[in-house]
């Protein structure tokens, strides 16, 4: 699993990175059974003139492709929201994938393999 946390236009903050890693752990746990390559990119961008920051989270796997972004004044609240929304979208995509497999049935799945 490739996980990258990028700080743009701001100094690296150990507390913010620890907070991000703590909350990203549930997404990492969700993706444990996925096939490689797994990429998680978190970009924290600060706006110097005013307190209007941006966070973007990209999760890319062979099965999932999720991009969530948020803008606002508080990094910690935005980070929590972005990770929670990404986690919900991963669950939705997984459920859609399971529903599609049920709809196709195993017989059709074997036909595709031939």
Residue 59, beta-bridge partner list: 40, 66
Domains, the chain, with CATH or none: 2-113 (3.30.160.100)
Q: Omega before 16 cis (within 30°)?
A: no
> How do residues 76-102 score in pLDDT, each as one tens digit?
999 999 999 999 999 998 888 777 766
Helix, strand counts (H, E) of the chain: 2, 4
The model's pTM? 0.82
Q: Which residues of the chain have pLDDT under 70?
A: 101-114
CA 48, CA 91: separation in Å to the nearest integer? 35
């Amino acid at each position: 699993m490739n996980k990258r946390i990028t700080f743009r236009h701001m100094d690296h903050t150990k507390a913010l990175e620890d907070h991000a890693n703590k909350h990203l752990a549930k997404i990492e746990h969700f993706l444990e059974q996925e096939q490689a390559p797994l990429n998680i990119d978190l970009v924290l961008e600060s706006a110097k003139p005013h307190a209007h920051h941006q966070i973007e989270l990209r999760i890319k796997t062979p099965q999932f492709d999720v991009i969530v972004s948020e803008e606002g004044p508080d990094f910690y609240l935005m980070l929590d929201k972005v990770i929670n929304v990404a986690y919900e979208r991963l669950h939705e995509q997984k459920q859609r994938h399971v529903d599609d497999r049920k709809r196709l049935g195993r017989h059709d799945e074997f036909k595709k393999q031939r």
